[in-house]
Amino acid sequence: MTNRTALVTGASRGIGLECAKALAQAGARVVLAARDTGRLEAASKEIVNASWVELDLASPDSIKSAFAKAGKIDILVNNAAVTKDNLALRMKKEDWDAVIATNLTGAFLAIQQVLAAMLKERWGRIINISSIVAESGNPGQANYVASKAGLIGLTKSLAQEIGSRNITVNAITPGFIETDMTAGLPEERKSAMLAQIPLRRFGKPADVAAAVRFLASEEASYITGHVLAVNGGLYM
């Protein structure tokens, strides 16, 4: 990945930060993007040849500004996501809109920002981080599940649209990964989940990052429109 530049959204912590580290270790220059500038600055210091930009995926203006500062991007990892869980009957429209705006619309607008340069160069990697629930469903997360399922549809449509220009578009569906987002779950819930995972362990951000690194590499140049499950066998 030498001479390639990768931008990772939601890169201030968790899966996004691990993805940024993995891509940097593979030789890419990495741009970390997220809302928390303090975390971004600290995280970027841990990675050789890394920089950062402030990015709010719910804001089209912020997206344009961030990508203008980042410059030409060869590898885009759409990882940033938010949750606003509730039962469908009680879900407020603003909570539905907020999750769709960041997780799906924001990812699409980010892709638009990098497409022109990728098409011109006839090389690119777009990797969308979806979720296991996009395929299995999950009660109380209609907005989140819809946004992540939408990412899979977006992935497959784009893969067909721009494949002739040597740009691959793939999605990853992580299962239960040990992050800040899952740390607060009750122990009973974690135990019940663990019992359903054939590999009998929870995933780590590095497991997802390894998949991202592979899909961004030349070794994955004949893989596009694929949905790669990184879930320990929890959903098959």
Catalytic residue check, 235: no
Reduced to 3 states (helix: H, G, I; strand: E, B; else coil), residue 103 is helix
List Cα–Cα distances, 232 to 25, 64, 67, 152, 197, in angstroms: 24, 37, 34, 20, 6
* Strand partners of residue 32: 8, 52
For the record, the structure tokens of 154 come out as 């977006």
| Residue 3, burial from CB neighbour count under 10 angstroms (0-12, 13-18, 19+) | exposed
Contact in structure between 136 and 114 (CB atoms under 8 Å): no
For the record, the structure tokens of 87 come out as 């039962």
Identify the helix (H) or strand (E) that includes residue 52.
Answer: strand 50-54
Q: Which of 144, 149, 172, 211 is catalytic?
A: 144
Q: Read off the amino acid at residue 12.
A: S
For the record, the structure tokens of 148 come out as 């992540």
Q: 5 — phi, psi (to 5°)?
A: -115, 130
Active-site residues: which are they?
144
